[in-house]
């Protein structure tokens, strides 16, 4: 038995009796399809001792099933010109493929096989352990990646949102085959799975194929428990020999389903997304303090933050921090100019429309709507919400987000004595 609902033209949704939710968007002019199998579990859902297990499992599911070895899994998709991949985030793990429509059956069969029949060969576990340790080392060798990781750890007080997705050397080295089987058995139930597809795809066929592949799987046994996340303000300095200091400044912001999320997106865009943004113009173009400078907004379930990244010489750090804080305070006090709001809205609307030209982006959009809202948020509603962001909406979200008392400043590099003065905010010396 299944329950079907319809929304926008071409979009159909079915919930199977076992809990799997399927959402498809048929695009008749396309000759290919993007398919994603989404599991509602990620690094945020791990215990401290299990840090990185979601990501390790994602790697291992491609390393052999009862029907295919690792090479056969890759070759079966690539032989027909398709692409197969996966990723782990804070809150989801996704296994996805893109193929010509005539090979949809192969993509569904391979993805279903790795999710239902993986065997976790011991030899592959040891080889992949080495690969992931190399991935961790690579991230630590990349200053921009590392400073974001260090920021997350301090900003989220070392809680689940602050732990590295790949885990640590200690956790990765400790995992055994029984740990992976326990994790999959506990979290990879059909009630935690969303299947989305966009392109030349037949919804009824996909429902039948998924019903057959997952019909006998039982529900997840590990509950999904996500509460609010507490942030931490202050200055955190990680001394390290380098040519530049990497900087991330962040503030608590809206969560993934907050009605103010559209205004927060416009605010972030106006602050530091693009060469005409305030941060780029003031920090780079007018003062020449940094080459790289941008803002970003990350939203999760019940949590989120607005951040600024920059890379600069050590002597420029105090002034750069002062300038960025000044921009935050000015926008909080005075809001944005109408032209800034218009530019940011247009950037977001253009990005939305450009994304619709990609089957992968459409497939991902279907999944995010289903995972966070339990339904499809129609494009017309999204467009209208972005278009109606005005000075009042910006003023409200800026008052909430741009709170200097909640500011976290994380620095990585040869900071030395060039530490910004954050006034009453705490300062901590942290060794990277």
Q: What is the pLDDT of residues 50-87, one digit of tens each?
A: 999 999 999 999 999 999 999 999 999 999 999 999 99
- pLDDT value of position 2: 60
Residue 235 vs residues 6, 361, 408, 410: alpha-carbon distances, Å = 50, 37, 6, 6
CATH superfamily of 2-214: Metalloenzyme, LuxS/M16 peptidase-like (3.30.830.10)
Q: Is the pLDDT of residue 6 over 70?
A: no
Domain boundaries of the chain, sorted by first residue: 2-214, 234-429
3-state secondary structure of 67: coil
Distance CA 103, CA 178 (A): 35
> Residue 423's pLDDT band (boundaries 50, 70, 90)?
confident
| Per-residue model confidence (pLDDT) at position 1 | 47
Neighbouring residues of 376: CB distance < 8 A, sequence distance ≥ 6: 7, 8, 11, 13, 23, 366, 369, 370
> 169-186, pLDDT tens digit by residue?
999 999 999 999 999 999
CATH number for the domain running over 234-429: 3.30.830.10
Distance in angstroms (rounded) separating the CA atoms of residues 277 and 284: 11
Quick: pLDDT tens for 210-260: 999 998 888 888 888 887 889 999 999 999 999 999 999 999 999 999 999
pLDDT above 80 (res 431):
no
Alpha-carbon distance of 262 to 205, in angstroms, equals 36
Measure the CA–CA gap between 1 and 373, rounded to whole angstroms.
Answer: 23
Q: Which of 4, 25, 46, 58 is catalytic?
A: 58
Structure tokens at 169: 């050397």
pLDDT in tens, 260-271: 999 999 999 999
**Residue 212 bears catalytic tag:** no
pLDDT at 335 over 80: yes
Mean pLDDT of 109-138: 96
The overall average pLDDT reported for the chain is 95
Which pLDDT does position 432 carry in this prediction? 45
Residue 157 has pLDDT above 60, yes or no: yes
- 234-429 and 2-214 share a CATH fold: yes
Look up the pTM and report it.
0.93
CB-CB neighbours of 158 under 10 Å? 13
């Amino acid at each position: 038995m299944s329950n079907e609902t319809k929304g926008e033209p071409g979009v159909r949704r079915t919930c199977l009796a076992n809990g799997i939710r399927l959402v498809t968007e048929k695009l008749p002019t396309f000759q290919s399809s993007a398919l994603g199998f989404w599991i509602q579990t990620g690094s945020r859902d791990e215990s401290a001792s299990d840090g990185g297990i979601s990501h390790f499992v994602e790697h291992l599911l491609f390393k052999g099933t009862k029907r295919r070895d690792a090479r056969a899994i890759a070759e079966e998709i690539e032989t027909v010109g398709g692409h197969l991949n996966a990723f782990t985030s804070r809150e989801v793990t996704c296994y996805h493929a893109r193929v010509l429509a005539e090979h949809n059956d192969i993509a569904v069969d391979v993805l279903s096989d790795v999710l239902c029949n993986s065997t976790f060969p011991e030899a592959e576990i040891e080889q992949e352990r080495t690969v992931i340790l190399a991935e961790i080392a690579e991230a630590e060798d990349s200053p921009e990646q590392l400073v974001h990781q260090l920021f997350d750890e301090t900003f989220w007080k070392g809680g689940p949102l602050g732990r590295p997705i790949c885990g640590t050397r200690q956790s990765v080295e400790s995992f055994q085959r029984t740990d992976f089987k326990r994790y999959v058995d506990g979290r990879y139930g059909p009630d935690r799975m969303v299947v989305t597809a966009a392109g030349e795809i037949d919804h009824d066929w996909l429902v039948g194929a998924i019903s057959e592949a997952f019909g006998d799987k039982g529900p997840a046994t590990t509950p999904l428990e996500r509460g609010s996340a507490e942030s931490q303000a202050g200055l955190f300095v990680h001394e390290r020999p380098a040519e530049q200091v990497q900087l991330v400044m962040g503030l608590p912001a809206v969560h993934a389903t907050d009605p103010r999320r559209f205004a927060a997106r416009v605010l972030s865009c106006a602050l530091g997304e693009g060469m005409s943004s305030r941060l780029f113009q003031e920090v780079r173009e007018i003062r020449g303090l940094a080459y790289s400078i941008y803002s970003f907004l990350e939203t999760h379930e019940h949590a989120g933050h607005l951040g600024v990244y920059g890379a600069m010489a050590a002597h420029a750090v105090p002034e750069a921090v002062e300038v960025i804080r000044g921009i935050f305070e000015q926008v909080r006090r005075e809001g944005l100019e109408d032209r800034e709001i218009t530019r940011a809205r247009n950037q977001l609307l253009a990005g939305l429309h450009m994304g619709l030209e990609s089957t992968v982006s459409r497939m991902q959009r279907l999944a995010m709507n289903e995972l966070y809202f339990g339904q499809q948020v129609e494009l017309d509603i999204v467009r209208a919400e972005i278009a109606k962001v005005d000075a009042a909406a910006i003023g409200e979200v800026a008052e909430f987000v741009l709170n200097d008392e909640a500011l976290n400043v994380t620095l990585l590099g040869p900071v030395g004595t060039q530490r910004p003065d954050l006034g009453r905010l705490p300062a901590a010396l942290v060794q990277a």
